[in-house]
Structures are given as structure tokens and as C-alpha cells.
């Protein structure tokens, strides 16, 4: 498909545009999804010229090794407009440039507005797009919005009200970049295209589910943002609850964005809204202290730039969600995420129940062999694939069971060459396919769930810091599972401990 469209990027000089958007547009261009009939307007406050903007765009695609002619031709589609989002006159200039480029590149009035800047400006921008006549009657007008979408339910609701006054829901594409990741998209296929899993995907066969989003990086230079966010809002409200809904939803009647959303929203609605007592019992938070992993030493979160010395911001969350419906009643969905953990890794462990009786429990032996749980692991990143742990017989005399693992991982080459999340999401937005974006009903339910937790936490001063950088989080996260007789399946910290590289 070769789609005609004009992209207007608000925040065109920003980090996201440079790191993700321009390289993704280039990949689409290279593949022929964008060809002659596309143009990009980058806007921001700085007074750049088109020439300077194009040089920057070329710089951002250097790693993709375009030929000089290719880089030149691609960047010639980019135009820069110095723009103050609060100044109405600037939108008139934007309209003139929009109309000129529409004609020059024959864009059929198809327009994508990408808001890659601070959310407090979203409302003003969309109002002006309407009042200054930039939206078209013909072609399409689509709005792509980056997170954070609000900072709690009320602010998100207000933001949504402002946006929906101008754009209908079907034209709003709220980005959650995890939904563009290959293995997140694969969850639906694993579930709905394999009878062995589909038939067992419920509380009769599944014991618990564990979702880990661990990061080895600290807060880096984002202290200013992170201090007001914390891990709960930064990762759980969006990415993690999206994954929970994909794992928990019912089979959609068809694989259309509408049917999938309907089921995801039903799943989110069924997640229990916790009382204060339930939050204390089911959620733990942490903040990293100094630490040492192998030969690398880390400073505490409170010493990071733009972080308060007595910061109460959590850099780690672990928790147990309960889903009160027929399929999931009684199955804990454990989640954990944090900064400065042992390794960067996103994975899901589906832990199946044991067989009803262990017939390998031999009376005449002192120690009876333990049966391992069957575990389906979905590896989201950095490696992509699945594994299934089964019990097999130990070679030799007797019938001692031992765990064996069927393991499939995509090759590094395939992973490397698969489309980047932003590339896929941009193409989806261009095609008008909302499957991999967050619908307002999903966002609203996620905020409700997270607000309950945050409200309780705000009433109690946490005892921070409480985990050493380089570890898998505070002790309370392990206790949370232990009290239900469970353990975290993924323990990369043990590998380091066994080798004396971590205390």
C-alpha cells in the first residue's frame, strides 16, 4: 500500500521525533508504504529553517544507511514551522503551509496530527486545529497522541473531553508503544490459534500468571518527569494493564479493532478495584538504593539528577491483580516492574496447575520427587519467543520426573530486522486501524484501577530506599508471592549471586 498523507508533528525537534518517528517514517518510505505523496511538517518553538530541519532528519536516519540520494529525496518531504501552540496566528500559517503541501504532493486532504509534546498543550492544539480551519472535510483527520494521557482519572477524563470535542474516537490513536511490539501482538495468536492453550486458558488449569517488565537502566535524565510519575503511572497504568487485558480477555467474535477492544474493556472492568486494606495487602512499592552488580556500581535514586533528596517516588512496583469473572476468579495475576533491576527483560509466565495426584510419590523412597509446574513463558524482549516447561522422565533406572523445556526463540537476525514498534503503529494509524492503540474506555478503566492504589500510597510515607540497585526489587515483592505459596519464576539475580557477582 502506498498511502498519501500529510504528517504534522507537534514537538518536531524533540527526542521522540528524532529517536523514533523520523527513522520509522524512513523505514516506511523505504518499503514503499510512503512514496511520492507524503509530506511532514515539523513544528516546535525553535526558529529552524527547512534546510536545518532536513539536516537533522538525515542525521536521525544515518544508522539505517541510506544512500546520499535516498536521504536527500526522503528529507526533501520535510518542512519546518516555528510554532507557539498558544498563538492563534501561528495556526493560520500552519493552515497555509498545510494547504500548499496538500496541493504540491497531492495528498488528498489526508492528515495525521502527531502530538509528541507535553500533554498540557493537547487541548489547546486540537481546539486550534478546529477553530483555524485546518481540519478538512474531505480526506481523513487523525490524531496520534503520546502518553501520558492524564495523571489520574479526572485529568484524563478532562483531556479526553477536550479532544473528543474535536475528533471522534475512531480518529484518535492513543499510543502505547508496547502494543506495537511483536510479541505483545503475538499473545492473541498464542491464545486463539492453539487449541492446547485456548482450552486450558482459565482458572481450572492456570494456577497463576506472572508478568515482569524489568529495566536495568535507572531514571537517567528523566528525573523531572519521573518524580511526578513513578513506576505505577509510568508502566502499570498503561503497558502492564494492556498486557493483563490481552491475557485475560475473552475470545473476540472477530479480529477487528472494535471486537478486540470490547473484550479488553470487559476484562479491565472485571479487575477488582481495591480498598485501602486490599492495596496494602496486594501491592508493594520500592525505590532503588546504591548497588553493585558485577563490577558496575550504581548511585541511589535519590542522588539522580532532578530527584528530591527525600523523594517518595517509587521506582519499583509489584502487585497482585484479581479478576472477578468466571474465567479468572481465584487466579492471581502478579505483576512487577522497576528501574535498576538485574536485567532488562519483559516476559510473561503462565503457570499451570499441578496434576491432581503425584503418582511418582514413591512410598519406599526417603525423598519423593517434586513435580514442576508446567509453565508457558512468552519472551517479549530482548529475546522474542516462547518456551514450555514440561515434566519428563530422568534417564536411567526408575521413574523420577524432571523438568524439560521446549524453547523457541526467534534468531537475533529476525528480531533485528522485524519492524520497530513505532513503524508498525504509524502504519496502522495511516491505515486507520485502531487495534494496537488504547481506546478511551481502556484508559479510563486503567486509571480507575491505578488511582485506588495511588490514593492509599499517598496516605503513608514509604520506607525508602528499600532495594539495592542491580537486584530484582525489595523483599516485600518476594513475600507477596510466598504468602500464597508462590515464587517468582524468573530470577536472573540468582545467576549473579551464585557467581559471587551480587550480594
Chain contacts with ligand BG6 (rule: CB under 6 A): 177, 215, 234
**Closer to ligand BG6 by Cβ: residue 34 or 425:** 425
Q: Concatenate the DSSP letters of all residues of 59-93 into one string.
A: HHTGGG---HHHHHHHHTTEEEEE--TT-HHHHHH
Which residue among the candidates 77, 90, 128, 239 is catalytic per the annotation? 239
Which of 149, 81, 116, 126 is closest to 11 using CA atoms? 116
**Closer to ligand BG6 by Cβ: residue 101 or 144:** 144
Min dist. Cβ of residue 215 to ligand BG6 (A): 6
As given in the structure block, the three cell numbers for residue 393 are 522422565
**Closer to ligand BG6 by Cβ: residue 319 or 332:** 319
**Closer to ligand BG6 by Cβ: residue 54 or 177:** 177
- Which single residue is written with the C-alpha cell 523523594? 311
Q: How many angstroms separate the Cα of 434 from the Cα of each of 265, 427, 431? A: 14, 11, 9
**Closer to ligand BG6 by Cβ: residue 112 or 184:** 184
Which of 246, 152, 155 is closest to 446 using CA atoms? 152
Chain length of the chain: 503
**Closer to ligand BG6 by Cβ: residue 177 or 320:** 177
Distance in angstroms (rounded) separating the CA atoms of residues 378 and 274: 28
Min dist. Cβ of residue 226 to ligand BG6 (A): 7
**Closer to ligand BG6 by Cβ: residue 60 or 242:** 242
Q: Which residues contact 278 (CB under 8 A, 6 or more apart)?
A: 272
Min dist. Cβ of residue 37 to ligand BG6 (A): 31
Q: Concatenate the DSSP letters of all residues of 201-257 into one string.
A: -STTTEEEEEEEEE-SS--TT-HHHHHTTHHIIIIIIIIIHHHHHHHHPPPPSSSSH
Backbone region of residue 349 per phi and psi (left: phi > 0; alpha: psi in -120 to 50; beta: other values): beta
Pairing between β-strand 172-174 and β-strand 375-381 as defined by DSSP bridges: unpaired
- Cβ atoms of 391 and 358 within 8 Å: the answer is no
Min dist. Cβ of residue 380 to ligand BG6 (A): 9
**Phi and psi of 161, rounded to 5°?**
-60, -45
Which of 215, 265, 258 is closest to 242 using CA atoms? 265
Q: Residue 148: count other Cβ atoms within 10 Å of its Cβ.
A: 18
Min dist. Cβ of residue 213 to ligand BG6 (A): 7
Min dist. Cβ of residue 176 to ligand BG6 (A): 8
**Closer to ligand BG6 by Cβ: residue 234 or 451:** 234
**What SS3 state is found at 284?**
strand
As given in the structure block, the three cell numbers for residue 426 are 504509524
239 is catalytic: yes
Min dist. Cβ of residue 375 to ligand BG6 (A): 22
Distance in angstroms (rounded) separating the CA atoms of residues 302 and 290: 9
Min dist. Cβ of residue 146 to ligand BG6 (A): 9
**Closer to ligand BG6 by Cβ: residue 234 or 289:** 234
The alpha-helical segments, DSSP class H, found in 230-375 are 230-231, 241-248, 257-270, 276-282
Min dist. Cβ of residue 194 to ligand BG6 (A): 26
What residue is closest to ligand BG6 based on CB?
Answer: 234
Q: Which residues contact 150 (CB under 8 A, 6 or more apart)?
A: 119, 156, 157, 158, 159, 160, 443, 447
Could you list the active site residues?
239
Amino acid at each position: 500500500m502506498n498511502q498519501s498523507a500529510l504528517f504534522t508533528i507537534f514537538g518536531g525537534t524533540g527526542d521522540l521525533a528524532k529517536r523514533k518517528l523520523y527513522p520509522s517514517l524512513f523505514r516506511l518510505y523505504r518499503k514503499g508504504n510512503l512514496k511520492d505523496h507524503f509530506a511532514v511538517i515539523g513544528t516546535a518553538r525553535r526558529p529552524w529553517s527547512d534546510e536545518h530541519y532536513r539536516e537533522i532528519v538525515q542525521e536521525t536516519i544515518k544508522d539505517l544507511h541510506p544512500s546520499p540520494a535516498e536521504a536527500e529525496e526522503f528529507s526533501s518531504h520535510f518542512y519546518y514551522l516555528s510554532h507557539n501552540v498558544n498563538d492563534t496566528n501561528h495556526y493560520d500559517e500552519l493552515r497555509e503551509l498545510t494547504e500548499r503541501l496538500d496541493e504540491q504532493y497531492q495528498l488528498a486532504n489526508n492528515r495525521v496530527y502527531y502530538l509528541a509534546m507535553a500533554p498540557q498543550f493537547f487541548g489547546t492544539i486540537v481546539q486550534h486545529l478546529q477553530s483555524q480551519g485546518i481540519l478538512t472535510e474531505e480526506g481523513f483527520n487523525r490524531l496520534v497522541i503520546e502518553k501520558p494521557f492524564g495523571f489520574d482519572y479526572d485529568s484524563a477524563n478532562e483531556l479526553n473531553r477536550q479532544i473528543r470535542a474535536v475528533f471522534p474516537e475512531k480518529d484518535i490513536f492513543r499510543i502505547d508503544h508496547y502494543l506495537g511490539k511483536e510479541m505483545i501482538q503475538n499473545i492473541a495468536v498464542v491464545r486463539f490459534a492453539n487449541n492446547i492453550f485456548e482450552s486450558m486458558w482459565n482458572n481450572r488449569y492456570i494456577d497463576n500468571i506472572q508478568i515482569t517488565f524489568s529495566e536495568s537502566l535507572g531514571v537517567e535524565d528523566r528525573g523531572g518527569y519521573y518524580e511526578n510519575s513513578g513506576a505505577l503511572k509510568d508502566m502499570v497504568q498503561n503497558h502492564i494493564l494492556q498486557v493483563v487485558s490481552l491475557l485475560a480477555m475473552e475470545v473476540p467474535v472477530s479480529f477487528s479493532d472494535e471486537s478486540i477492544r470490547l473484550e479488553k474493556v470487559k476484562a479491565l472492568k472485571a479487575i477488582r478495584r481495591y480498598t485501602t486494606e486490599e492495596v496494602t495487602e496486594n501491592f508493594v512499592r520500592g525505590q532503588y538504593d546504591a548497588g553493585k552488580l558485577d563490577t558496575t556500581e550504581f548511585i541511589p535514586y535519590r542522588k539522580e539528577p532532578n530527584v528530591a533528596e527525600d523523594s517518595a517516588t517509587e521506582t519499583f512496583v509489584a502487585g497482585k491483580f484479581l479478576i472477578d469473572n468466571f474465567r479468572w476468579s481465584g487466579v492471581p495475576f502478579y505483576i512487577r516492574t522497576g528501574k535498576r533491576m538485574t536485567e532488562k527483560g519483559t516476559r510473561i509466565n503462565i503457570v499451570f496447575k499441578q496434576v491432581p495426584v503425584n503418582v511418582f510419590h514413591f512410598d519406599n523412597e526417603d525423598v519423593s520427587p517434586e513435580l514442576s509446574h508446567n509453565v508457558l513463558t512468552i519472551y517479549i524482549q530482548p529475546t522474542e519467543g516462547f518456551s514450555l516447561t514440561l515434566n519428563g522422565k530422568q534417564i536411567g533406572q526408575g521413574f523420577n520426573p524432571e523438568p524439560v523445556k521446549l524453547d523457541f526463540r526467534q534468531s537475533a537476525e529476525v528480531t533485528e530486522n522485524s519492524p520497530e514498534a513505532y513503524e508498525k503503529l504509524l502504519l496502522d494509524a495511516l491505515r486507520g486501524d485502531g487495534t494496537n492503540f488504547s481506546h478511551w474506555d481502556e484508559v479510563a478503566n486503567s486509571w480507575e484501577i491505578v488511582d485506588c492504589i495511588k490514593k492509599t500510597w499517598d496516605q503513608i510515607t514509604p520506607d525508602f530506599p528499600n532495594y539495592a540497585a542491580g537486584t530484582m526489587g525489595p523483599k516485600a515483592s518476594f513475600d507477596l508471592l510466598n504468602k500464597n505459596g508462590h515464587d517468582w519464576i524468573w530470577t536472573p539475580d540468582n545467576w549473579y549471586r551464585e557467581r559471587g557477582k551480587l550480594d
